[in-house]
Amino acid sequence: DATDTTDIAVLKHIAHTADTADVELELLARVPDRLYIGGAWVDGGGTGIVVHDPATGRVIKTIAGASPADGIRVLDAAVEAAEAWAATAPRARAEILRRAWELLQERRDDFALLMTIEMGKPLAEARGEVTYGGEFLRWFSEEAVRISGRYGQSPEGAGTMVVTQRPVGPCFLITPWNFPLAMATRKIAPALAAGCTVVIKPAELTPLTTLLFAQLLEDAGVPAGVVNVITTSDSAAVSAPIIADPRLRKLSFTGSTAVGRRLIAQAADGVLRTSMELGGNAPFVVFEDADLDKAVDGAMLAKFRNIGQACTAANRFIVHADVADEFAQRVTERVNALRVGRGTEDGVSIGPLIEEKAVASVEALVQDAVDRGARVLTGGHRPERDGSFYAPTVLTDVATGSDILREEIFGPVLAITTFSDEDEAVRLANDTEYGLVGYVFTADLARGHRMIDRLDTGMMGLNTGLVSNAAAPFGGVKQSGLGREGGLEGIHEYLSTKYTLIPT
Ligand code: NAD
């Protein structure tokens, strides 16, 4: 009973009207608060998780936490369901995913509000995530019936060679807090379409969306054991035995490069297949011939979407010296018009950062840049209100070597450096261990193509600040990861190739 763990008076106080408080309470009361194993909601043997509203720091719900033994129990459930799910007709799997997409449209408001409450993003963006996250269900419902192989003669003429694709087997999916729904659907949908069963472990900061989504999947007809959810605030202890278990056949992780590296090392013992969607440090290059209206629009989207907390967030604005002042002045005007507040409030586009630690980290990056000579055009401080907020900020003249150019900012800070020719832009853009996405603004199509070829990234936006799409392969090179999610490629992360020779 959520009312046991939710402070109603506090929620009524923080929500902006009594009506919205009631809506939030009613929604929170409906969110499951236990582990989902083999189609049943069960208690966990570990410490419970206290979930907070980052806009206020208040407790919104307490849910069950798994023990390491629960981790094995949940894998048991996925293993037990694996054979039957792999044998389910692709069309049947497709129709369940399609039904899940339809249910998500019907329950759009619940999912959007829940993400805003537990993660902090503005409601309009949360609705956008429901659309984006939902598209993976629809796309992979369409891909489930198109899994195909090859057939050919051996070059010697001695036989036929048949190549088929089989589900890889039980998968362990670990997701981050920044896109609570989309990071789950981007993994669950292709896994189910391929015929795999899964255990998903959402981030401890935002577990509620995944729990509500598990309920939706059950309603859509996903059989017991095909999708299982464990929640824990001790991810390392609960995940390690699952990863070490030889029955697990695949690990798909989205999160920081530091944790990804550790998981790759753990996966090495069992030669476990992995997909790794890790951090980013996206360059946003503006040439002197760029349409500055488009570049400024693109910058606002690439930087301030999700309060700057996206792996695809533009981290380094590399702007031609001839247009740098004008670009800086125009983005500063736009940034000054952004409203900071709880994501449920009207007109808010900058919600809180996920937790206090995140604000301290952004503060330290800004301080380091300023110490090295950067100028603060706007922001550069915490706004005067409670909660883990940081004011949207523009920095210019950011010196080479500043931490803010090397590390993921993960906050609403736009940092500008300048360049004077194309080679220098390429060198600066590639000067990072990451390689997720790059953004380039230029009116010269040939130059745009050259930049696409020369930047070491898995994805590029040419004259746009947003590239994510369920129909496109999302992923990075270098330390941004391994594998791709979405597109034609996404389902192959959950399939293994089998070749058979049939002598004639
Ligand atoms: P994180 O690495 O701290 O955590 C990610 C997930 O891993 C969470 O579920 C967490 O509980 C779990 N985890 C942490 N330590 C673990 C361990 N030892 N064993 C098993 N699980 C463990 O990342 P975060 O702070 O939640 O997310 C932000 C990061 O995610 C950023 O670096 C961002 O760039 C990245 N990200 C990448 C993509 C992408 O697609 N490339 C998308 C979104 C976020």
Query: Tell me: the pLDDT tens digits for 351-372?
Result: 999 999 999 999 999 999 999 9
* Pairwise CA distance, residues 504 & 499, whole Å: 16
Atom of ligand 1 nearest to the CA of 277: 41
pLDDT at 3 over 60: no
pLDDT at 176 over 70: yes
Q: Measuring from atom 6 of ligand 1, which residue has the nearest CA?
A: 176
Task: Detail the DSSP E strand segments found in 402-475.
Answer: 413-419, 437-441, 459-462
Q: Specify the pLDDT at position 296.
A: 98
Asked if 135 is an active-site residue, the reply is no
Q: Predicted ipTM?
A: 0.96
- Distance, CA 211 to ligand 1 centroid (Å)? 18
Question: Which residue carries 């040939």 as its tokens?
Answer: 446
pTM for the whole thing?
0.96
- The model's confidence at residue 1, banded by pLDDT at 50, 70 and 90, is very low
- The model's confidence at residue 8, banded by pLDDT at 50, 70 and 90, is low
Q: Catalytic one among 24, 135, 218, 277?
A: 277
Atom of ligand 1 nearest to the CA of 481: 41
Q: Specify the pLDDT at position 17.
A: 60
What are the tokens at 376? 């603060």
3-state secondary structure of 375: strand
Q: Specify the pLDDT at position 14.
A: 53
Which residues, 6+ apart, have CB-to-CB distance to 252 below 8 Å? 171, 172, 173, 174, 187, 191, 274, 275, 483, 493
What are the tokens at 432? 């990072």
| Residue range 234-277, pLDDT digits in tens | 999 999 999 999 999 999 999 999 999 999 999 999 999 999 99
Calculate mean pLDDT across residues 450-472.
Answer: 98
